[in-house]
Amino acid sequence: MEKNAGESNGKSKNKFDIVIVGAGISGMYMLYKMRELGLSARVLEKGSGVGGTWYWNRYPGARCDTDTLEYSYSFCEELQQEWEWPERYPTQPEILRYLNHVADRFDLRSDISFDTKVAAATFDESAGRWCVRTEDGMELSAQFLVMGTGCLSSPNTPRIEGTDSFEGPIYHTGKWPHEGVDFTGKRVGIIGTGSSGVQSIPVIAKEADELFVFQRTPQYAIPARNGPVDREAVAEIKADYAGFRARNRLEPSAQLSHYPANDVPALEVDDTERDQMYQERWDVGGFPFYGAFNDILINQEANDTAAEFVRSKIRSVVTDPEVAEMLCPPHTIACKRAIIDTGYFETYNRSNVHLVDLQSTPIEAITANGIRTSDTEYELDCIVFATGFDAMTGTLLKIDIQGRGGLSLREKWEAGPRNYLGLSVPGFPNLFTVTGPGSPSVLTNMVVAIEQHVEWITDCIKYMGEHDHDSIEATQKAEDEWVEHVNAVAATTLYPTCTSWYLGANIPGKPRVFMPLPGFPDYAAKCEEVAAKKYEGFDLT
């Protein structure tokens, strides 16, 4: 393996064992692990700091919806013991502070190039190396290329006629100004009611003069019930943090082992008992609600009972019955990415908040003064796009990645992403995608999914070094079987039954393929088995 050629400058060619794209949770840990192996590594990061998702998503109310004690690295006992999280769910500034602390604690910055956007990566077959080109003309050569580019890192701004003519500022929740935005005294329009919209709407509503929410699809949301962490529970977890992490990894979404799903089908209990079980978990708050029964995500009738329970809560909170009905979603619950809220539905009881139903009055254009729907024009001082991301494949495909024989990833994935284990693509040797499509990724606690992938990749590279292999590449057969497996697992659930970014349905023209793989424990076991069988499904040379 190559020696680190040092910091790059201008157009000089730099040789590394590994180039890592992205300095978020994935890229930082990948760098840490490569250093452990004694390899030379360079991280290329578009932003000016570490943090990935948590660097960019600084919108008001941004917060993780996984419990703080779970949403953190587990690889260092001292780190997990010393860090104190104040609340049940961490805010964006707290997570960013934590990730900066990790970068400092392990001196990661010296191997990260910030403000560096990768434009292309080409596999040089004769050298057996990746040539990575950045937008500012820097070229790096590496044996391995790891994409830690995140699943939700390409903000989606829908094309709406007249957007450029708007005279006020336009913001996107996924690339929020670092200096913040003062909405005091403003008439604000927000488009989108996914997780980002649901988190930011109650906060913006308190500041703005008037807030107009442009809703295309109503969304279910479960109250977060955030608050200070329970110090006794923290002490208990910290007394056996490793055990806590191990138990979480046995859960389908790699989290919440302290609140596991009831192993009871929803229709096996009577209406009163069912509502009691929903109510109990509604009171706990957060994702445990979806564990009230074991078939909410696999049986439509069971799902309908959960959906109706949440609709009844929306009707009981929102005082104007017409607005309440507009906010009641008709679709399968938790089929789009589940949302956790703090005071979202209550916000519609404020006199300065107005809900605009885009299903009955669609947006026709953005004008110089605001947003025009089919029935009126809303005068606005500023517009917020909370319209999500080109998820899971967006950032990978923005980079011109070319594998063996000039095969481009864009062409290869024209009909949707295909790979083996969500980690590796035939035709693209020594390229790994952390939490790629076809792996549990966004259906799990992301930190757990990231650590599992980074550790698997590290073990694989170590094995290659110990057995004199220079190249690893998934076989076509392994890819075909894996894609079939992912589709078969998805088909046992209700996930594919509604339009969601999991399916690519939020991006016009994007192929509709259910991208993540439900079920972390089976997946992790499969990865272990592949490694134990000397990387079955891969060609090693």
Interface ranges with ligand N01 (CB under 6 A): 63-65, 152, 158, 173, 191-197, 199, 216-217, 337, 358, 386-389, 442, 501, 506
Rounded to the nearest whole angstrom, what is the least distance from the CB of residue 198 to ligand N01 in the complex? 7
Rounded to the nearest whole angstrom, what is the least distance from the CB of residue 220 to ligand N01 in the complex? 12
Name which of 102 and 152 has its Cβ closer to ligand N01: 152
Rounded to the nearest whole angstrom, what is the least distance from the CB of residue 203 to ligand N01 in the complex? 13
Rounded to the nearest whole angstrom, what is the least distance from the CB of residue 415 to ligand N01 in the complex? 22
Rounded to the nearest whole angstrom, what is the least distance from the CB of residue 58 to ligand N01 in the complex? 12
Name which of 274 and 510 has its Cβ closer to ligand N01: 510
> 141: left (phi > 0), else alpha (psi -120 to 50), else beta?
beta
Residue 407 DSSP SS3: coil
Rounded to the nearest whole angstrom, what is the least distance from the CB of residue 311 to ligand N01 in the complex? 17
Sheet holding 353-357, edge to edge: 170-172, 382-385, 187-191, 210-215, 353-357
Q: How many C-alpha atoms does 158 have within 13 Å on its Cβ side?
A: 21
The 3-state DSSP composition of the chain as helix, strand, coil percent (nearest 5) reads: 35, 20, 45
Name which of 40 and 219 has its Cβ closer to ligand N01: 219
Residue 416 DSSP SS3: coil
Name which of 58 and 313 has its Cβ closer to ligand N01: 58
Distance, in Å, from the CA atom of 22 to the CA atom of 5, rounded to the nearest integer, reads 20
**What residues are paired with 170 via a beta bridge?**
383
Distance, in Å, from the CA atom of 73 to the CA atom of 75, rounded to the nearest integer, reads 6
HEC sequence for 197-208: HHHHHHHHHHHE
The alpha carbon dihedral of 10, 11, 12, 14 has a sign of positive
Residues 6+ apart with CB under 8 A from 420: 426, 438, 474, 475, 478, 479, 482, 537, 538
Q: How many C-alpha atoms does 64 have within 13 Å on its Cβ side?
A: 25
Rounded to the nearest whole angstrom, what is the least distance from the CB of residue 183 to ligand N01 in the complex? 18
Residue 101 DSSP SS3: helix
Q: What angle do CA 494, 497, 503 make, to 5 degrees?
A: 105
What are the φ and ψ backbone dihedral angles of 372, each rounded to 5 degrees? -105, 125
Name which of 98 and 501 has its Cβ closer to ligand N01: 501
Q: What secondary structure letter does DSSP report for 277?
A: H
Rounded to the nearest whole angstrom, what is the least distance from the CB of residue 196 to ligand N01 in the complex? 3
Rounded to the nearest whole angstrom, what is the least distance from the CB of residue 217 to ligand N01 in the complex? 3
Name which of 388 and 426 has its Cβ closer to ligand N01: 388
Rounded to the nearest whole angstrom, what is the least distance from the CB of residue 388 to ligand N01 in the complex? 2
Alpha helices in 74-120 (DSSP H): 77-82, 92-105
Rounded to the nearest whole angstrom, what is the least distance from the CB of residue 375 to ligand N01 in the complex? 16
Distance, in Å, from the CA atom of 303 to the CA atom of 324, rounded to the nearest integer, reads 21
Burial class (CB in 10 A: 0-12, 13-18, 19+), 213: buried
Name which of 154 and 193 has its Cβ closer to ligand N01: 193
Rounded to the nearest whole angstrom, what is the least distance from the CB of residue 250 to ligand N01 in the complex? 22
Question: Shortest Cβ contact with ligand N01: which residue?
Answer: 194
Among residues 55, 19, 42, the alpha carbon closest in space to that of 112 is found at: 42
Name which of 447 and 483 has its Cβ closer to ligand N01: 447
Name which of 189 and 438 has its Cβ closer to ligand N01: 189
Among residues 245, 219, 200, 224, the alpha carbon closest in space to that of 70 is found at: 245
Name which of 40 and 255 has its Cβ closer to ligand N01: 255
Paired sense of beta strands 377-379 and 370-373, if any: antiparallel
Name which of 25 and 112 has its Cβ closer to ligand N01: 25
Name which of 341 and 479 has its Cβ closer to ligand N01: 341
Q: What distances in angstroms separate CA 300 from CA 50, 493, 516, one per listed residue? A: 42, 9, 20
Residue 211 DSSP SS3: strand
